Amino acid sequence: MLGKKLVTAQKRGETRALCLGLGMVACSMMMYFFIGITIVPFYTNSVWTTETVCKVLKVNIKDKVFCPNSEGSEDEEIFPYPCLQVWVNLTASGQEVMLYQTEDTLERNPKCSYVPDNLENSKEVKARIETIASNFKKYQTFPCYYDPGGTQTNVILSRLYPSKGLLFAFLWPTLLFTGGCLIIVLVKISQYVSVLSAWQ
């Protein structure tokens, strides 16, 4: 009687462990799919792939421009912000080009090197842009990214999804997938050992 209860409990435990392993594998596949349709296209479509050194030539803060995210809305003129323009000398080609913070900055407003995320407090935005401008004047030389193919003549300060960031994004689903597969393999080995011992 006690042996039957132990066998039943063992089978239940194996079933739960197997379900856990399959669930972890399924979740990892969903994470892979999500990363594949969101992050990977941004990484592969980015043409700013080669790192070089940029030297600041001039830094200007022009008149306020309106938030490009508000186009077509009635509140188009609510969030103006100072337009920071940074021109650098590209070491790889010796050209004078405009610097943007990321690929997204160029899409949001090609006239400005920096587009603030939070536009609610105009004083904070102005202070932040002035701080960024002073940092560029202080640190004249820094690494940047350019397009080796020449389709984009401008450069960016940092990539939205660099190679390390992409690898880090794939790290967690890989660990989840490996753990799930390991649980399934251990359950199958346990079942095989149980059948083998019962047969002997």
Domain parsing of the chain, residue ranges:
50-161, 162-199
- Tell whether pTM > 0.75: no
pLDDT in tens, 29-39: 999 999 988 88
First-to-last alpha carbon distance for the chain, in angstroms, is 20
Query: How high is the pLDDT of residue 190?
Result: 82
Q: Which ranges of the chain does DSSP label H, i.e. alpha helix?
A: 2-45, 103-108, 122-138, 163-199
Q: For residue 83, is pLDDT > 50?
A: yes
* Burial of 157 (C-beta count, 10 Å sphere; 0-12/13-18/19+): buried
pLDDT in tens, 134-176: 999 888 899 999 888 878 888 999 988 887 878 888 999 999 9
- Give the CB-side neighbour count of residue 20, counting CA atoms within 13 A: 12
